[in-house]
Structure 1
Amino acid sequence: MEKKKLFMFIRYLIMFFMVFGILIEGKNFDSKIIILMLVFITNNQLREFSLNKNSYQILSFILEVVFVILFNLWTAGYLFTYLILLAIDANVMFKKRLATPFNIIIVLIGVYFSLNYSLNYKIMNLSVSVIVIVVLYFTRYENEKKIEAQDLYDRLRISEEKLKKANRDLEMYASSVEELTLLRERNRISREIHDSVGHSLSTMVIQLGAIEKIIKKSPEKAEILTKNLRKFTQTSLDEVRGAVRAIKPKEFEKYEGIISIEELISNFKKMANIDVRLAFTKEKWSLNSDQSFVIYRIVQEFLSNSARHGKASRVDIIMAFTEQNVVVTLKDNGQGCENIAEGIGMKSMRERVREIGGYFEYKSAPKEGFTVKVELAKKEKLKAYSGGKNNE
């Protein structure tokens, strides 16, 4: 609204200078000039307020060009005032495809009617007109860019809202699916327990009651029932173990060692308030019991030393799995040291790694933290780790 008021004020101001220019030139306002001026102003105002169709506006603008030519032929005045008024209407009312030819027409009019005047007059009319056209042209360009940017922003904002809504819907759907899957799994487990364990226990109770009744009267028969009950109990136990193995995910068995290390790190972060980050390669293979135990103890000892001796605030643990081995690198940002005195904890880590045929090294420097590197070969079968050292 403020821009429209400013635009109207400029238009009326230019019209005032048009009339002022005619008076300066010494022209008398006879009936012909007055009628021409009234028609000119009426046409100009109709184009601004009444004519909304583009074809009417174009016709009105062409008519105003004719009026400008007549004004210059009959009344003279300041040529640049006519040209500025035309330039404003051409660049404000019409789109770029129409504004460009209209601007060319305005410049040609200025060139033609300046031919009979002095050089200074030519420069004044043409320079003022061209500057106004250029300013209006680039103002239009900037305004169009702002509109495009705003439109793009609006579309991006709408897209963002849609994405957020889709994400919320997806989260709700995933949560519902997870809950439904959990309920189904619980229902399946309850059926398994009812059908296998419940049936077995009910049978055992019945047979134990029968044994209790006949054990004094017929010990031989009770012994036979006891043997049968033992076999039945063993069979039921095997069924329960099979059901448990079926319930336990294979992924958990495969990554059980890594999961236990993640749980250790999670608990340590809560207790020590140290940022511990665990990373591993995309391709992984299952750690055997020896490897899982050794890596778990080494991580445990390293975290303890980083908090107690190194005064570290961050620990990075990287597990790199290859086709032949796994390399575990542990590094903290603690104070470090120049001369490392290998204590019980460090010796314990080294011995654990050596017992399963692995490679162990460490290094440190003042203000550079402490680093431990462990390399274990991929072996499917290793002896169960039972001895070892205490983590002290």
Structure 2
Amino acid sequence: MDNKKLFVFIKYFTLVFMIVGIIFGGKEFNAQNITLMLILIINHQLRTFSLNKYIHKIISFILEIVLVVICNFWISGYLFTYLILLAIDANVMFKKFLASTFNVVIILIGVYFSFNYSLNYKIMNLGVSIIIIAVFYFNKYENEKKIEAQDLYDRLRISEEKLKKANRDLEMYASSVEELTLLRERNRISREIHDSVGHSLSTMVIQLGAIEKIIRKAPEKAELLTKNLRKFTQKSLDEVRAAVRAIKPKEFEEYEGILSIEELISNFKKMANIDVRLAFTKEKWSLNSDQSFVLYRIVQEFLSNSARHGRASRVDVIMAFSEKNLLVTLKDNGQGCQSIIEGVGMKSMRERVKELGGYFEYKTAPYEGFTVKIELAKREKLKVYSGGENNG
């Protein structure tokens, strides 16, 4: 039974009890008394079921207060039954300030009409009325708080949806900007290749054609052209190398291993729909080619196992660089297992780390995911110097 049906039931029960009180009070049901009772009941029914405007309900309630006073004088009966009817509507139909005002009026009516009765009757009239007012007042207060909480929840949910939409839009915008930036950079590199490398190669083709024609007739001239062509070729090669060094950022060269792992993770997230998070310490040092290759393969194998065997929804890849060591932790939230029989993938991980002189361990348990820890010592990258500048 909802609150509205409960209130209607209490009202009708109280009306019946009010009529019983009048009967036991010894009052005769003459035309005047019946008319007053009918006016009181009709007004009450109209306010409950027919009147929709707030001001009409207020006028009806004030009229009922007047009718209650008149009925108590002429018809008598149990005073608290009149007061209960007023208390229910005051706390159910009206807003907080108006309800509080009407509650005060109801209590004052109870106090005034109880003066002529015995102490027990006074306690019954006032006590029952105050209890009913308190119950409905606090019930209304709780309902208002629930409505406020629901309203706050709805606004927060709407805000959360807006934030999610904004985040999706921002991701799409960032992706679009990234693609546009990549296209612009490719276009710029294309122009650079066309203007520098293309021009140099065209010149070489022309000079080689000239050498081919005169090599038999004038070997000395052909030899001179060959020397000039070699110098021009070397100069063009130096320009290409300089252009490549200018295009390729220093940070990319230093952290190429981390960036390749980041690209691997990004592609995996798009394909597997698994949340993979890469984190590393602020202080970093560059990995050599062997370390980069081994870590790339291990991360690749771990992600594949997390999706295929672990059925994970999230994977964390943490790279902690210290002054002398790198500690890599790979952890998923998959289903885990009680024991592991090392397959080709796991053995390959272990062997590759051992070849680098590193430390490798893993642990798992049912419903606790899978964790792999790798520790590698810092190794300097080998630098290859070109000897082209010293040729000939």
1:156-195 equivalences under 5 Å are 156-195=156-195
For 1:376 and 1:26, locate their aligned partners in 2 and report how far apart those are by CA, in whole Å. Answer: 106
Alpha-carbon distance, 1:278 to partner: 9.4
Contact 1:319 1:326 in 2 (8 A): no
User: 1:213: Cα distance to partner?
Assistant: 0.6
Task: Tell me whether 1:80 sits opposite 2:83 in the alignment.
Answer: no
| Percentage of identical aligned residues | 62
Q: 1:272 matched to which residue of 2? A: none
Q: String of CA shifts for 1:40-66, please: whole Å, max 9, x gaps.
A: 345445544347243x54444333223
Match in the other structure for 1:283: 282
Distance 2:171 2:283 in 1: 28
Which consecutive unaligned segments of at least 5 residues does structure 2 have?
Answer: 268-275, 302-309, 341-348, 366-370, 385-392
Deviates more, 1:4-13 or 1:199-208: 4-13
Deviation sequence 1:259-305 (CA, Å, 0-9, x none): 467789999xxxxxxxxx9976432343264xx6468669989999x
Amino acid at match of 1:287: S
- Asked if structure 1 preserves the Cα contact closer than 8 Å seen for 2:84 and 2:129, the reply is yes
Kindly state the Cα deviation for residue 85 of structure 1 after the two structures are TM-superposed: 0.8
Between the aligned partners of 2:351 and 2:91, the Cα distance in structure 1 is 85
Distance 2:101 2:298 in 1: 82
SS at match of 2:327: strand
The count of residues paired between Structure 1 and Structure 2 equals 356
Paired residue type of 1:163: L
Find the aligned partners of 1:175 and 1:265 in 2 and give their Cα distance.
16
Structure-2 residue corresponding to 1:357 = none
Cα contact 1:262–1:278 (8 A) shared by 2? no
Which residue of structure 2 aligns with residue 258 of structure 1? 258
Structure 1, unmatched stretches of 5+, are: 268-276, 305-312, 337-344, 354-359, 385-392
Structure 2: how far apart are the matches of 1:145 and 1:76? 39
Deviation at 1:193? Answer: 1.2
Alpha-carbon distance in structure 1 between the residues aligned to 2:299 and 2:61:
85
TM-score, structure 2 length as denominator? 0.71
Q: How far apart, in 2, do the equivalents of 1:266 and 1:41 lie?
A: 74
Q: Distance in 2 between matches of 1:200 and 1:15?
A: 107
Q: Which amino acid aligns with 2:209?
A: G
Structure 2 match to 1:356: none
Give the 5 Å matches for 1:231-310. 231-259=231-259, 281-287=280-286, 289=288, 293=290
Question: Are the counterparts in 2 of residues 254 and 285 from structure 1 also a CA contact under 8 Å?
Answer: no
Change (3 A) 1:214 1:148: same
Q: Is the 8 A contact 1:261 1:296 kept in 2?
A: no
TM-score (normalizing by structure 1): 0.71
RMSD over aligned CA atoms reads 4.7
Q: Secondary structure at the match of 1:328?
A: strand
Structure 1 residue 372, shift from structure 2 partner: 6.8
Q: Which residue of 1 aligns with 2:110?
A: 110
Q: How does 1:1-392 map to 2 (within 5 A)?
A: 7-8=7-8, 10-45=10-45, 47-48=47-48, 49-50=50-51, 52-54=53-55, 56-259=56-259, 281-287=280-286, 289=288, 293=290, 319-322=319-322, 324-328=323-327, 376=378
Change (3 A) 1:188 1:24: same
Asked if the contact 2:353/2:359 (under 8 Å) is kept, the reply is no
* Compared CA separation, residues 83 and 294, structure 1 to 2 (3 A): closer
Q: Describe the superposition over 1:169-216 as per-residue Cα deviations: whole angstroms up to 9, x where unpaired.
A: 212211221121111111111111111111111111111111111111
